[in-house]
Amino acid sequence: MSTEPVGTLVLDPIRCDGRGMCHDAAPGLIELDEWGYPLLPSGTLRAPIERSDMKAARDATHACPLLALHIER
């Protein structure tokens, strides 16, 4: 099933400094709020990720220089 989440994208808001590189790497998955901080699809710190979004989630995770994102399987 393509709608079945295969992992969870987790944001550590204390590490995050709002550099926006996750949004640059995965603009379709991560938006920036009006203050420049990442907004996951769930609107919270944990977002279930479907298989089709997994590459974007990985790109966003690798783009963060502060290691504020990770994927939980």
Name the site residues for other proteins (rule: CB under 8 A): 12-18, 33-37, 39, 43-45
Are 63 and 21 in contact by the 8 Å Cβ rule? The answer is yes
Q: How far is the CB of 26 from other proteins (least distance, A)?
A: 18
Q: How far is the CB of 2 from other proteins (least distance, A)?
A: 26
Q: Which is nearer to other proteins, 4 or 34 (CB)?
A: 34
Question: How many CA atoms lie less than 13 Å away from 3 in the CB half-sphere?
Answer: 0
39 Cα distance to chain centroid: 8
Q: Which is nearer to other proteins, 17 or 24 (CB)?
A: 17
Distance CA 67, CA 30 (A): 15
Q: Which is nearer to other proteins, 1 or 65 (CB)?
A: 65
